[in-house]
Amino acid sequence: MRPKQAKWRATLLSGAAIALGLAATGVAAEEKPEGHGDSPAAQYVYSATTVGEIDVELPGRKPGDPVMTQSEFNKAATLYFERCAGCHGVLRKGATGKPLTTDITRENGFEYLRDFITYGSPAGMPNWGTSGEMTEEEIDMMARYILLEPPEPPQFGLEKMKATWQVIVPPEERPTEKMNDIAIDKLMSVTLRDAGQVALIDGDSYEIVKIFDTGYAVHISRMSASGRYLFTIGRDAKVNMIDLWMEEPSTVATIDTGLEARSVETSKFEGWEDKYAIAGTYWPPQYVIMDGDTLEPLKIKSTRGMTVDTQEYHPEPRVAAIVASHYNPEFIVNIKETGKIQLVDYSDIENLKVTEIEAERFLHDGGFDSSGRYFITAANARNKLVVIDTKEGKLVDIVDSQGMTPHPGRGANIDHPEHGPVWATSHLGDASVSLIGTDPEGHPDKAWKVVQQLWAMGGGSLFVKTHPDSDHLYVDAPLNPAAEVSGSIAVFNTADLTAEDPEYKVLPIAEWAAIAEGQPRVVQGEFNKQGDEIWFSVWNAKDKQSALVVVDDKTLELKKVIKDERLVTPTGKFNVYNTRKDVY
């Protein structure tokens, strides 16, 4: 029996005894851990202390407030940024994750919050306690922290950006041709999340070419259209520009674009290759267009505004996915909380033209269909998929994903034996994988509909992956609280999708990695350029061993385990060629 779709419902607990209960459970501030302040994560001091201007003070205590020291408050704020803000928002108004405003948290109460942080849920909330990623003391502190009003970080405008902007190697001092023998298109850019680094790994030898210091918890790596420059953006909004043509690939420019971020992209339209880069931030809610050679900030655009449904003002509409159109000189910018998609015309940034498409709230990630014309993106908290025609610059459709909290990454394009070209997304909230028809000319009756649902291992999936030369669809579930699920991958044979109830094969990736300690989570498959092998991150706690596992796509057998003490918390992986060409 396949699992049925079920809605996540929080059990409401009485918050009447918050003051007494928390006063009894208050813990003393922890001793400063060895090395604290040296790592990129530790260097994030919440709010304005990030830019060295003011200190964030513990809110004035009111009746019923939990007992919390200033030291605990600062630690909890940093921990919230590292682990929670991405889903729940800096101001805790929610999106992918549920809102954590005090009216809700106080109704649930301390014990409920503590237990939920500890054990997680199959709907995608990580089990921070039982996985060992948070201590009991940290969980106690976090439960008290989210019963207090959130502090608001400062703004981050042009003056502050320019104060962080560095051109390490000016364009005139860079090589005019490739100066190394590295097979650039075969490189994998691998995020080393908690180390604040990215590793470049050779796709043939599996050897580490170089490790770069970057921002904390790099979210994505993106390639310039020419294939020369690699751009990374950290959760702390630091952008690195890496020149892969240099004798030894090196960072040539950096900039901080805000305090928290997820997205970076470069111009790809013919005639505009490498001209501009763009970065979107979670805080402040804005995006900045930069010079493609130097990262000089040229134009900052706020995303604050009215929501598409109630048309009420939202103070924190974060910038989620950004992709570059192949049909127009435009960046396609997802604005999460307001539910708007902006087509930003970069052909004249002094007279910037922005086409604003009203879509659906809580826009998150997404990617192109196999033709590269249609951008399909998840409004995950609304369980919707939005389709944009990037050639015509308009909304095509809003589709019910028929699952809970779609989270496709960039999705996966399959030539379905019955339905023709389809695009796939998995879900955080249940085990379903939805296939959406994407061929309005060849299969008009299938277009922009969920034509089939598959059932994988369980909720907590973040990414699906395939390749034009592969016969397989891979589905991860790293946020599932069950270790046997979060450590495995489900694989469907695309030739068998015509079956009434397609079966999947389970690959025990974490077991293959032979890691003795922790609860390693297997996340984000990424194909090599040739499309004959797929790489997975075995993501463990930062003080435990992690690994990369390479699988032969034809046989589904283990091909290589990459272990190195420098591979600290590997998560996202991006093949240079596939990223540059939008192959997925």
Which residues are marked as active site?
84, 87-88, 125, 364, 407
Residue 266 to residues 4, 291, 424, Cα–Cα distance (Å): 41, 10, 25
- The residues near 389 (Cβ < 8 Å, ≥ 6 apart) are 373, 374, 395, 396
For the residues of 115-132, what is the DSSP string, one character each?
Answer: HHHHH--TTS---TTTTT
Q: Give the whole-angstrom CA distance, residue 250 versus residue 205.
A: 21
Indicate the helix (H) or strand (E) that contains 221: strand 220-223
Helices (H), 447-557: 483-486, 509-513
Q: Is 323:265 a contact under the CB 8 Å cutoff?
A: yes
Q: Is 542:568 a contact under the CB 8 Å cutoff?
A: yes
Q: Give the whole-angstrom CA distance, residue 230 versus residue 476.
A: 26
DSSP type of residue 447: B
Helix, strand and coil in the chain, % to nearest 5: 15, 35, 50
3-class secondary structure per residue, 404-435: CCECCCCCEEEEECCCEEEEEEEECCCCEEEE
- The residues near 137 (Cβ < 8 Å, ≥ 6 apart) are 27, 30
Amino acid at 400: D
Helices (H), 207-246: none
Q: Give the whole-angstrom CA distance, residue 477 versus residue 464.
A: 10
How many CA atoms are closer than 13 Å to the CA of 46, on its beta-carbon side? Answer: 22
Query: Taking the mean position of all CA atoms in its chain, how far away is CA 210?
Result: 23
CA end-to-end span of the chain: 31
**Secondary structure (3-state) at 200:** strand
Q: Is 529 exposed, middle or buried (0-12, 13-18, 19+ CB in 10 A)?
A: buried
- The encoded tokens of residue 187 equal 């490189």
DSSP type of residue 300: E
Backbone angles phi, psi at 60, to 5 degrees: -55, 135
Q: Give the whole-angstrom CA distance, residue 14 versus residue 580.
A: 52
Q: Give the whole-angstrom CA distance, residue 146 versus residue 41.
A: 20
Q: Which of 541, 543, 533 shows the shortest CA–CA distance to 571?
A: 541
- The encoded tokens of residue 321 equal 């996915």
Residue 296 to residues 163, 243, 279, Cα–Cα distance (Å): 11, 16, 12
